[in-house]
Structure 1
Amino acid sequence: MTERNLWRPTRRRLTDTLLAALAPVAACSLALGGLTTWTGAGRAGSPARITVSNGRVLLPYGDSTDTAALFDIANVGGADDRLVNVTSTATRGRITLSGHRMLGGRAAYKADVTSATVPAGGELSMSPRGVDVTLQAEADWRAGDLVPFTLHFERSAPVETIAVVSHPSDSDP
């Protein structure tokens, strides 16, 4: 072969090759750094971890037996979960999840909801003006009584908890 037919790397060819290889290497390095940070923070692949606290059942007004149960539900896990059902052995009536929307002034309306999201690393704090559990109060309930509930989630195991019967004036506004 003659010397003219031999391929020779030039500075430009080497620079172009290096730049072409650098883009995927930089993208992979950035992705690996992000995944390492996410894993180090304990979030990678961690399921929802649900805790329930501050359970309370409001005594109904007047002659009505309709009332609300309120809970603070925290999720310290890395995945969202959804509250899908609430049951209790202490009441015979229907128990539903409800959402309340203010219409302006002091008017509001209630609608049944199928679930309530408990975000990863966050909480769902039920209130009379947001999401709550609607149920029929038993006639013999008095302030200070304890009512057992089981909260059922889409992904997490059911959580058994106790709610304290209280006057509506004792609830958060």
Structure 2
Amino acid sequence: MRRTVKDRVSALGRPDRRRLRDGALAALVPFAACSVTLAGLTTWVGAGRAGSPARVDVVHGLVLLPSAGVPETAAFFDIVNEGGSADTLLRVTARGVAGEVSLSEHRMGRGNSAYRSEIDSVSVAAGESLVMTPQGVDLTVPVPMVPWQVGDAVTFTFEFRRSGPVEVRAVVVRPGSVSFQ
């Protein structure tokens, strides 16, 4: 006797609970794997690890003319990241100065007092910029052996985690001659 497809299906019978559960579990495994992968990719993109590489530029450099007898002064720059990934400023050096340039952040204390604290690094998000100011992040620069004059150019090298070194010149200005807003 020859069986038809309809006979074969009816011979299998209706799906019972066990078959339904096994089928649902079989579909759940790929769904869960896709969900975990999508969550990982979303975290990767959100952390700035996806997209185009970081493209950092350092512009508008100013160094304050040091006051007589003071061993250090401040320098300010604008850091622009036009890339698709975040980058981190790790270190800054300056030609012609003895000692280390330090990355600093100014904080307010009680009674309108302010203090400076060294920081190890500063991040610049993708598509964002960091404007250094006396009230925020800036550079503390040792005074050189040969005193600077207003208008002198000082060469700085910024070391970024992803972008690598960026060399830029800053102009020495008299304190109070520039407004930081």
Answer whether TM exceeds 0.5 for this pair: yes
Correspondence for 2:10: 5
Distance 1:104 1:61 in 2: 26
The answer to whether the 8 Å contact 1:150/1:159 transfers is yes
CA gap of 1:142–1:4, structure 2 versus 1, over 3 A, is closer
Superposition TM-score, scaled by structure 2 size: 0.71
- Deviations along 1:34-74, one digit per CA (max 9) or x if unpaired, are x9xxxxxxx95311110111111011234213101111001
**Mean alpha-carbon deviation: is it higher for 160-169 or for 55-64?**
55-64
- Maintained 8 Å contact 1:70/1:127: yes
The structure 2 residue matched to 1:133, chosen from 136, 139, 145, is: 139
Flag the 1:4–1:156 CA change in 2: closer, same or farther, 3 A: closer
* Rg larger in structure: 2
- Three-state SS of the structure 1 residue aligned to 2:59 is strand
Runs of 5+ unmatched residues, structure 2: 15-22, 42-48
Task: Tell me how far apart the structure 1 counterparts of residues 179 and 150 of structure 2 sit (CA, whole Å).
Answer: 12
**Aligned-partner Cα distance in 1 for 2:166–2:63:** 17
Q: Which residue of 2 aligns with 1:109?
A: 115
Q: 2:157 aligns with which of 147, 150, 162?
A: 150
Number of residues of Structure 1 aligned to a counterpart in Structure 2: 166
Provide structure 1 residue ranges, at least 5 long, that are not aligned to the other structure.
10-16, 36-42
Deviation at 1:154, TM superposition (A): 1.2
- Residue 158 of structure 1 aligns to a residue whose secondary structure is strand
Aligned match of 2:17 = none
Local SS of the residue matching 2:164: coil
Q: CA deviation at 1:135?
A: 1.1
State the SS of the aligned residue for 2:134: coil
Structure 1 residue ranges, 4+ long, deviating more than 6 angstroms after superposition = none
Please state if 1:121 is matched with 2:127: yes
Please say if 1:52 is aligned against 2:58: yes
Could you give the per-residue CA deviations for residues 9-36 of structure 1, whole angstroms, max 9, x where no partner exists?
Answer: 9xxxxxxx9xxx8xx89xx8xx99xx9x
Cα RMSD after superposing both structures: 3.8
Q: Aligned equivalents of 1:144 and 1:137: distance in 2?
A: 16
Q: Give the letter for the 2:141 counterpart.
A: L
